[in-house]
């Protein structure tokens, strides 16, 4: 299949116009008309990821997070982003990113399903279409449980060894918000929604204790910890919707370790 045909399939799942204005999604590097026989899927287009894609003889790299956010004035090996771009071009690997468009049209719903959230609503609306409000995160209902039980549920749902919790572990909850990735900006929306716990990532000390002081627990499962679900989902999606294309997924690799 041509790269453009695969892009059309990806756009059906998460059209690029759903991305936030500050974001940079779509075909970021490469030839849209090249033939693609292998697609390599990862969360981030790190130097290691690109090396793996090239070693696997992939023709296309698909990631959730865009490698290029800001405009590049130079593309050379003196800059770590430029170095990655050059590696992709030299190997003739097309590179496509689907970030906040996937957050709106896939990520939060997938995460909410894993948690068993019911009667879900959009947490932070970003737009409206024929289906209604669309946006970042979900808020819904859980069976009554304690915060500590919810933390264990998060660990099971996303196959994590540990999570960070702000708030009273013994507090009873029934209403939860979930925002895969970085959730600092949605704390206010989660509080407004009446959520008793926010499940997200990248929560700093002050945001966490301030949320707890206002009566909402926060379970920080890590940025990668939740968003890694992008990889198996997109593998399954592409395998179902493409023909004659091998879909490869990067093995789970957390970007840091606790020692």
pLDDT digits (tens, 9 = 90+) for 152-197: 999 999 999 999 999 999 999 999 999 999 999 999 999 999 999 9
72-75 LR contacts (CB < 8 Å, sep 24+): none
pLDDT band (50, 70, 90) for residue 216? very high
First-residue to last-residue Cα distance in the chain? 45
Alpha carbon distance 83, 74 (integer Å): 10
pLDDT band (50, 70, 90) for residue 204? very high
The residues with which 136 forms a beta bridge, in sequence order, are 124
Q: What is the DSSP letter of 153?
A: H
CA angle 218/221/223 to nearest 5° reads 115
Predicted structure pTM score: 0.96
pLDDT tens digits for 59-118? 999 999 999 998 889 999 999 999 999 999 999 999 999 999 999 999 999 999 999 999
Alpha carbon distance 19, 85 (integer Å): 22
State both tokens at 119: 């009667």
Phi, psi (5° rounding) for residue 227?
A: -70, -10
Task: Give the Å distances, CA to CA, from 259 to 155, 162, 228, 234.
Answer: 19, 13, 22, 32
């Amino acid at each position: 299949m041509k790269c453009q045909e695969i892009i059309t399939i990806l756009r059906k799942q998460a059209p690029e116009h759903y991305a936030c204005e500050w974001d940079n999604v779509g075909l970021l590097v490469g030839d849209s008309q090249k033939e693609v026989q292998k697609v390599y899927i990862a969360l981030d287009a790190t130097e290691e990821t690109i090396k793996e894609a090239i070693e696997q003889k992939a023709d296309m790299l698909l990631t959730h997070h865009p490698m290029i956010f800001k405009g590049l004035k130079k593309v050379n090996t003196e800059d770590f982003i430029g170095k990655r771009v050059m590696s992709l071009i030299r190997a003739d690997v097309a590179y496509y990113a689907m970030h906040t468009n996937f957050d709106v049209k896939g990520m939060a719903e997938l995460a909410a399903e894993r948690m068993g959230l019911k009667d879900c609503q959009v947490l932070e609306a970003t737009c409206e279409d024929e289906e209604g409000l669309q946006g970042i995160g979900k808020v819904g209902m859980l069976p009554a449980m304690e915060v500590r039980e919810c933390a264990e549920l998060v660990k099971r749902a996303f196959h994590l060894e540990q999570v960070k919790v702000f708030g009273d572990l013994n507090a009873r909850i029934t209403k939860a918000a979930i925002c895969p990735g970085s959730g600092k900006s949605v704390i206010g929306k989660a509080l407004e929604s009446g959520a008793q716990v926010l499940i997200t990532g990248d929560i700093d000390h002050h945001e966490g204790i301030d949320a707890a002081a206002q009566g909402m627990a926060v379970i920080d499962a890590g940025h990668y910890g939740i968003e890694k679900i992008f990889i198996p989902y997109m593998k399954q999606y592409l395998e179902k919707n493409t023909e004659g294309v091998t879909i490869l997924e990067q093995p789970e690799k957390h970007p840091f370790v606790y020692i």
